[in-house]
Chain A
């Protein structure tokens, strides 16, 4: 009987299913009596316990259920709504990217962008040619903004004292006191935010203040000098420019426009402009100057006044450079331009204003505008902190700013924060401030939500989302709307509602659509602040002075005030003048360092009125004597996996009286040494001539001077017949006369070509992966050297040394002249890299491509292979863009037009220094540039015959200054 319960062989069950067997009639009829009998006799499972196999199975099941129980505790899977296109959007063709206009904000000021989107996934940012803040160019931060969107360290959910919560929970907690604020007129309610130019947001802010009249709004923008005069220049009109510590080509929201205008006047000839720069620390503008004067801060402050004296004949400086400079400015009245650096004291700004007035430049090359609007009844930051400390603040809402990290060292914001009962931080990251607040609310990235903003000149544009918020982000508009009693309002309705009210009109729908697709709202500019008296105008602080060196505190060229510290692209981007990555340094002139017995790489203690930090010393030629330059934005403790613990925190030396430094700095060696992670160890050109330059006079005398330096072998000197290109023949020129060395091309290339980040240790080993690098050389005396930049992508040599030595033909020449790299074929001998005289080939020493983070995967350009460990990679001239243009042209049965293929580097370049095109096309722009007498090949004497060539740099020297 027992046997019948045991598993039967397959043939038995097969047989029995066909010929049922029974033991009794009862069984055959499956009567309940039989079943109960059977159950009594053989209780279910009873015999199975004795069976070894089943016990094992039981244990197996136990194990499986334990494992599954573990799975149950995993985080909630994201809800992914799958739906095919029932009706395909007419503009969307799978595989073809779409472009949407939006804007990138730098301290609130917009630079227009066009965002490339692949099936709803933004992958790349380009400049918007129609936007006055971009004109088609981008800077490194704009390019890197796409990585910020996908940053896995971004805040993902509201937090109440560090514990995940919800937006609704926050709303209930926020709206309960809000009812009371109505009664108390919002006394004790305080807001602090970064600077904004969004008319919608400003309108909402003013509505909040109108609703709660005793509430106050504080603008805290650490890297902006709010006391500086707001100017808008027409650089293109200026024949002679004097920049006094003004880095107008390097770091300003107007940089892209100015760089393009400046570059348009750099064609060597009679129309070429002349740039004088006087500065204490080298900047990109200084590097681009025809004459760069290194002056200590005190001399800088007096410079406008001294020029004024020369112009008015009060002093005779006929012999000095100053006299020559003043005369040059005077001779170009109305066509000259004097710019004062943002971080100079207000007195200097006023003196420069007077100088521009005297020179008749106002209205011609420069316009002075009222400052950017602020919300009504703005409260200075220091007053806010005083109120917080006095317990007068009941609720503090911190919007998109990080004051715990960025407030001056003499303000303990974290401590003040602890005295406020209700604190809310609204931001992209759970940063230093968020960890000190009772509530944190994730903010949407600018690519995730609707907004609007103004360019540096006031022109307004709309920001449109490219993607649904990746996390539970709330836009600032929605947060303010909640305070205004509309917790369900969506950014789109808020922004559109504002504009409907502002422009209105029957054809609003059309205007709105146009504004969205163009990226600018035609004819609309920022309205100045309503004439509400702000608090008493504060006299801007004068620089501190004391015994010792002069300290200069500036925002970092890449991580800015620290807000981009968690952006690995920006961290790994070499600083334009030092080529340092992943850290900041204290910069000092070589002469000063040797005078106080310090060496490059010494770790020094900086003591500024009793506040001390330790920093590694970088000896930088071209620094003013007795000055030390440090950058903000490093030493963060709660930035994320990338930005934590990188560099030193310069805010620790920053005080309210001296936000940009002053004199009185003591520097002491600590005895420790530091090794920098830099991408360029050597700054002299030595016996090589990579960057060729001449003065305008020399150039006019000898236009072919570039070829006199080295002899380039004739093409016929080869055993092989010349290769003929009948179709396209691609080539590139890089104009060193307009290149400002801003490094936007590097990040643009990184974003376009899925180039991995390698980290500080690997950079120190010399393994950075950038396909294009910007070399920086110093030439001339160490006190005031000429700073030269040279972008170096792959040269796509016609006689490529790399191709000959590859044993597996993984790098080959294609029919259009490209030096192609076949990743799949590469076995990684690295012989090509050794044989490349330009050293532009990059090797995946480890598996550098980040493949674990799902969000970072979304950033990838689907047109470009992600490389694996052990293969070489390098610049391809953006071959994917050439292919896309070819497909388009072949569909239309025509040739690729000039300008249709723009590599990422050329597209990003704000100065239009990089030109690319078909050399076989007689009218192509690149061909015209190749005909320029300044055109030369880098290391042409090796007979590599590069397709990328350079146009020599020409200095428009004032002949009166030797």
Chain B
């Protein structure tokens, strides 16, 4: 470490970030937030308990709409997760230094979102107790999964994603854990961080290996950004349901995932930055960059919609046409228009530099986009299933209390994890910020 002004600069950043974890006392605002989130987490527990007791019939699913909120939520959460990987891996490889202020936080968000997402496909099984039949293991029945099913691909895509995200996040955390170890005053805290820091001593050798591993992991994670949501989109694209059977789905889903992920990053980071006074680290430049990514991915999503309309019209397939018209003007028509407003209309506001510069405006925009992306999954899944081929089999789907409680409960789980995270781990990468400041001189 060299002497001089920059040291103070990053020493201050070190202080600022680590003090949130180490020194800041418990505050009523944090407690209220945590308690609220935790209440919803308990609601999730009750919902899952009741689900296991009674069966998936407690939800509104039926025939023809055999997939309901559970799969909507799954796709939504998985999509949200994408922003973290995109920020930490792709932007790292592209040398976008501004990512350093938000990568740790968004990686954590990814993990928690994937945790929420991964729960749903298992809960939605008719017999969740035998979920492991989805895995290829040498069982006494001599049976393997049925490899042609996209659901099997999902298992691999999601579990790989979770593993790589977890490792990537943890590797990135190691230098910061060491910092916390060094700064912690109480012995047991020092021990705990020390254990997690895996003996990091800040040596050049460590750094060299760390850099190598980190870049390699980034390289590994990058294709996952594209693959995971592509595979998730295959759940639909492989099906023959009108409104699902479409080749545009993989890129369109990936764009949608990044779109919703960045929206979620903004929805969380704007209040956090204000609450912990991190405006100097997470500057309006960061917010603006996120907004720009949102605008671009939003336009890609819009292109996806347009492409769907075009293929529907061009194919002249009565089921596709009927399905699209039903989405627009049928029973769930208002939800389609809400989706259009949130995902096509709202992002256009981001052309304006004034809106991109206003944290409040961005916060509202990001919430609307989150809502819009949830409704998009609703439109795709329920809007397509409830009217497919034979009019005699058409039906409706009405979510029950337990559908809503599981959705709200999963948000509770997500926020609980985040509240715990901001208190026990540095939400901004100390090492990266330090290095950035150092480089900035």
Interface set of A (CB-CB < 8 Å, partner B): 680-688, 690, 762, 765-767, 773, 775-777, 790, 792, 801, 804-809, 825-831, 833-835, 837-839, 841-847, 869-872, 938-939, 942
A834–B390 touching, CB < 8 Å: no
A869–B239 touching, CB < 8 Å: no
**Using Cβ atoms and an 8 Å threshold, which residues of chain A touch B192?**
none
Please name 21 pairs of A and B residues whose Cβ atoms are closer than 8 Å in the assembled complex, sorted by A.
Answer: A686-B322, A687-B321, A765-B57, A767-B57, A767-B63, A807-B152, A825-B133, A827-B133, A828-B125, A831-B66, A831-B67, A837-B240, A838-B390, A842-B63, A845-B56, A845-B57, A845-B61, A846-B55, A869-B126, A870-B126, A938-B390
A829–B389 touching, CB < 8 Å: no
B395–A766 touching, CB < 8 Å: yes
* Given A805-B238, A825-B143, A839-B388, A688-B318 contact (CB < 8 Å): yes
- The 4 tightest CB contacts between A and B, nearest first, are A828-B126, A870-B126, A845-B57, A766-B62
Once the chains are docked, how many angstroms separate the CA of A842 from the CA of B62? 9
Once the chains are docked, how many angstroms separate the CA of A869 from the CA of B152? 22
Once the chains are docked, how many angstroms separate the CA of A765 from the CA of B235? 25
A839–B126 touching, CB < 8 Å: no
B143–A809 touching, CB < 8 Å: yes
C-beta contact mask, B383-404 vs A, less than 8 Å → 1, else 0? 0010011111111101000000
C-beta contact mask, B143-156 vs A, less than 8 Å → 1, else 0? 11110111110010
* Given A825-B133, A827-B134, A687-B319 contact (CB < 8 Å): yes
Q: B392: shortest Cβ distance to chain A, in Å?
A: 4
* Given A687-B318, A839-B390, A870-B56, A805-B63 contact (CB < 8 Å): no
B125–A870 touching, CB < 8 Å: yes
The A interface, classified by DSSP as helix, strand, loop or mixed, is loop
Once the chains are docked, how many angstroms separate the CA of A762 from the CA of B57? 9
Q: Tally the A-B contacts, defined by beta carbons under 8 Å.
A: 166
B418 on the interface (CB 8 Å rule)?
no
**Using Cβ atoms and an 8 Å threshold, which residues of chain A touch B151?**
805, 807, 829, 831
Q: Kindly identify, within residues 116 to 153 of chain B, every residue whose CB is under 8 Å from any CB belonging to chain A.
A: 121, 124-127, 130-131, 133-134, 141, 143-146, 148-152
Once the chains are docked, how many angstroms separate the CA of A826 from the CA of B141? 13
B7 on the interface (CB 8 Å rule)?
no
Q: Which of the listed residues A776, A804, A829, A938 has the most CB atoms from chain B within 10 Å of its own CB? A: A829
**Using Cβ atoms and an 8 Å threshold, which residues of chain A touch B398?**
765
Once the chains are docked, how many angstroms separate the CA of A686 from the CA of B242? 15
B67–A834 touching, CB < 8 Å: yes
A870–B395 touching, CB < 8 Å: no
Once the chains are docked, how many angstroms separate the CA of A63 from the CA of B241? 62
B385–A834 touching, CB < 8 Å: yes
Q: B173: shortest Cβ distance to chain A, in Å?
A: 34
The B interface, classified by DSSP as helix, strand, loop or mixed, is loop
Q: Which of the listed residues A842, A843, A846, A938 has the most CB atoms from chain B within 10 Å of its own CB? A: A843
Partner of A687, one of B130, B141, B322, B393: B322
A684–B239 touching, CB < 8 Å: no
A829–B124 touching, CB < 8 Å: yes
Besides the known contacts A765-B57, A809-B144, A827-B125, 13 further A-B residue pairs in the complex with CB atoms under 8 A apart: A685-B391, A687-B319, A766-B63, A829-B124, A829-B125, A830-B66, A831-B149, A831-B239, A834-B66, A837-B240, A839-B389, A845-B126, A846-B54
**Using Cβ atoms and an 8 Å threshold, which residues of chain A touch B385?**
834
* Given A681-B395, A808-B133, A939-B389 contact (CB < 8 Å): yes
Partner of A688, one of B126, B238, B390: B390
Residue of chain A at shortest CB distance from B151: A807
Q: A252: shortest Cβ distance to chain B, in Å?
A: 27
Residue of chain B at shortest CB distance from A939: B389
B241–A834 touching, CB < 8 Å: yes
**Using Cβ atoms and an 8 Å threshold, which residues of chain A touch B396?**
681, 766
A826–B127 touching, CB < 8 Å: yes
Q: Kindly identify, within residues 389 to 423 of chain B, every residue whose CB is under 8 Å from any CB belonging to chain A.
A: 389-396, 398
Q: A842: shortest Cβ distance to chain B, in Å?
A: 6
A828–B56 touching, CB < 8 Å: yes
Once the chains are docked, how many angstroms separate the CA of A683 from the CA of B390? 10
**Using Cβ atoms and an 8 Å threshold, which residues of chain A touch B56?**
828, 845, 870
B389–A688 touching, CB < 8 Å: yes
**Using Cβ atoms and an 8 Å threshold, which residues of chain B touch A684?**
391
**Using Cβ atoms and an 8 Å threshold, which residues of chain B touch A804?**
148-149, 238
B64 on the interface (CB 8 Å rule)?
yes
Partner of A809, one of B130, B146, B155: B146
Residue of chain B at shortest CB distance from A842: B63
Q: B435: shortest Cβ distance to chain A, in Å?
A: 45
B149–A681 touching, CB < 8 Å: no
Q: B183: shortest Cβ distance to chain A, in Å?
A: 49
Q: A711: shortest Cβ distance to chain B, in Å?
A: 12
Q: B289: shortest Cβ distance to chain A, in Å?
A: 39
**Using Cβ atoms and an 8 Å threshold, which residues of chain B touch A844?**
55, 126
* Given A808-B133, A835-B240, A681-B394 contact (CB < 8 Å): yes
Q: B98: shortest Cβ distance to chain A, in Å?
A: 41
Q: B178: shortest Cβ distance to chain A, in Å?
A: 43
B393–A805 touching, CB < 8 Å: no
Residue of chain A at shortest CB distance from B326: A686
Partner of B127, one of A790, A827, A834, A845: A827
B391–A688 touching, CB < 8 Å: yes
Residue of chain A at shortest CB distance from B144: A809
* Given A808-B146, A826-B126, A939-B390 contact (CB < 8 Å): yes
Q: Kindly identify, within residues 220 to 241 of chain B, every residue whose CB is under 8 Å from any CB belonging to chain A.
A: 235, 238-241
Residue of chain A at shortest CB distance from B318: A687
